[in-house]
């Protein structure tokens, strides 16, 4: 039973680097996803830049 006044403490003895299969499909998929995410961020930043620096004249 967990109550709102309880706490849990976790202590780490070490953090070890994991093994990564860079030739695997999962790694390629993750790399593609991260590249796409970075591209989206860059595009959004560019759009924001254009909005902030646009000069609009209305008749």
Residue located via tokens 């790399």: 31
Give the pLDDT mean for 50-56: 92
Average pLDDT, the chain: 92
Is pTM beyond 0.75 here?
no
5: Cα within 13 Å, side-chain hemisphere:
0
For residues 59 and 57, give the distance between their C-alpha atoms in angstroms, rounded to a whole number: 7
Per-residue model confidence (pLDDT) at position 50: 95
Summarised one tens digit per residue, pLDDT across range 1-46 is: 556 788 999 999 999 998 889 999 999 999 999 999 999 999 999 9
Per-residue model confidence (pLDDT) at position 51: 93
* HEC secondary structure over the chain: CCCCCCCCCCCCCCCCCCCCCCCCHHHHHHHHHHHHHHHHHHHHHHHHHHHHHCCCCCC
């Amino acid at each position: 039973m967990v109550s709102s006044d309880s706490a849990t403490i976790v202590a780490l003895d070490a953090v070890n680097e994991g093994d990564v299969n860079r030739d695997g499909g999962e790694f390629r998929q993750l790399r593609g996803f991260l590249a796409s995410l970075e591209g989206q961020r860059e595009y959004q930043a560019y759009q924001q830049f254009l909005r902030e620096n646009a000069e609009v004249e209305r008749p």
